Structure 1
Amino acid sequence: MAAFQTTAWRLISGVLGVICLLLMAALGILLKNSFNKQNVQPTLSPGPSTDPLEGSDCCSCQEKWIGYQCNCYFISNESKTWKDSRNFCISHNSSLLQVQNRNELDFMNSSAHFYWIGLSFSEEHNAWLWEDNSTLSQDLFLVNTENCVIYSPSRNSLDEDCGSRHLFICKQHLS
């Protein structure tokens, strides 16, 4: 009878040992994935946080895009010309940012960087036009020369040679 009790305890301790090893392996995998996600998120862009934003519950954005007020925004961490920035946005089913109002980018208030937006001077129309050919509302920006526009969420805008390289913001409208 004593031999049977010893064999049963060995079997129980062996099973518990295997369960313990499996739990430790699962914990290791979960921790590794958790640290990888934390390391990736802050490098998505030099500006705002990519944490879920208030008012973003009405949209589902692709990875590396920020949902805010039912739109998705991509804030680049790579400098491109205005044309290359526009082409990048188009290739991702979006457009360079068209600012609707001064509060649109409230989630980026802490950013001091300047970004290309979808505003440029049309020689054909002799006017400032957004990418969708709508005209610029004069209360949004004051621009003087015939170039493209870089924008900082701290409410500053500058006209800049379209061939210079800057960060950019894409905006995807969700229906």
Structure 2
Amino acid sequence: MARFIHKEQSEITMDYVNLPEARSDSQQDGGGTSAVSGRKLYKLVAVSFGLLCILQAALNISLRLALVTEARCTNLTDGLERELIHFDRYFQEGWFYLRPSFYYISSSKKSWQESRDDCLQRGADLVVINSKEEQDFTRQFHKLTWIGLLEGETNVTWKWVDGTPLTKSYWGPGEPNDFEGKIEECVEIKFHEMENTWNDASCGDQNFWICEKMIAL
């Protein structure tokens, strides 16, 4: 009986002695698993952080592009609105439009220089004719009108009020001619049905006039 108890105690003692070893092995296995899990978690956090950075950068670029687009659209809308306001004002003041310019036809007569002064006060100048379309447009009003062409200092050349030389002309038959010996240094448009209607005239003559104001869109 005593032996049996001793043996049982011995087994119990042995089990008790072996128990820490078993726990130690278990702890070692658990530590290895924890280390592996920790490394995986670290990699997952690093990848997630990288993706967040890329997403944030893409979002910043998108927002910047959206702001730039909005600013451009706003500026375009504002500019278009201002131009429409200008257009409406010109039409109300009696201007005519032929792209890209507005034209004002006077209702009174003045000398060439007085006519130009009036145009300048309106933010314009006497008309400069650069095309057949513009020539046809300016002669349709059936008035004897001044245009922005005058004789140069050499008396053999003609220039426009914007400083450009005359390249394409629409002189009437026999013009320019300093008729009857008069000094005729300014140019008027006659309202004949023919295409070529320019005539040199004395700058002090009283004529209607045409102002031109270019509009940049």
Same fold (TM over 0.5): yes
For 1:148, the equivalent position in structure 2 comes to: 186
Deviation of 1:138 (Å): 4.4
Report whether the alignment pairs 1:174 with 2:212.
Answer: no
Distance, in Å, in 2 between the alignment partners of 1:109 and 1:151 is 7
Aligned residues: 118
- Provide Cα deviations, 1:51-110, integer angstroms capped at 9, x if missing partner: xxxxxx9x8151211112231000011100000000000111101010011211544554
- Equivalent in 72, 78, 83 of residue 102 of structure 2: 72
Report if aligned partners of 2:146, 2:208 keep a CA contact under 8 Å in 1: yes
| Structure 2 CA distance for partners of 1:87 and 1:139, relative to 1, 3 Å | closer
* Structure with a larger share of its residues in helix: 2
Question: Aligned residue for 1:101?
Answer: 131
Counterparts of 1:109 and 1:138, CA distance in 2: 16
Q: Is the 8 A contact 1:111 1:152 kept in 2?
A: no
Q: How far apart, in 2, do the equivalents of 1:126 and 1:106 lie?
A: 26
Structure 1 runs, 4 residues or longer, greater than 6 Å off: none
8 Å Cα contact 2:130-2:168 kept in structure 1: no
Q: What runs of 5+ residues in structure 1 fail to find an aligned partner?
A: 1-56
Tell me, in whole angstroms, the C-alpha distance in 1 between the residues paired with 2:153 and 2:137: 34
Matches within 5 A, 1:24-43: none
TM-score, normalised on structure 1? 0.59
Letter in 2 for 1:128: W
Counterpart-to-counterpart distance in 2, 1:139 and 1:67: 22
Query: Structure 2-normalised TM-score?
Result: 0.48
Q: Name the amino acid aligned to 1:159.
A: D
Give the alignment of 1:1-175 within 5 angstroms: 60=87, 62=90, 63-107=93-137, 110-123=140-153, 126-141=156-171, 142-145=175-178, 146-152=184-190, 154=193, 155=195, 156-175=197-216
SS of alignment partner, residue 86 of structure 1? helix
Pair 101,161 (structure 1): closer, same or farther in 2 beyond 3 Å: same
SS at match of 2:147: strand
Secondary structure at 2:134 match in 1: coil
**Alpha-carbon distance between aligned partners in 1 of 2:138 and 2:154, rounded to the nearest angstrom:** 33
Contact 1:101 1:140 in 2 (8 A): no
Counterpart-to-counterpart distance in 1, 2:200 and 2:176: 6
Please give the secondary structure, in 1, of the residue aligned with 2:132: coil
- CA RMSD in angstroms comes to 2.4
List alignment gaps of at least 5 residues for structure 2.
1-83, 179-183
Measured after TM superposition, the shift of residue 143 of structure 1 is: 2.5
User: For residues 130 and 80 of structure 1, do their structure 2 counterparts lie closer, same or farther at Cα, with a shift above 3 Å needed?
Assistant: same
The structural deviation recorded for 1:174 is 0.4
CA 1:169–1:109 in 2, change beyond 3 Å: closer, same or farther? closer
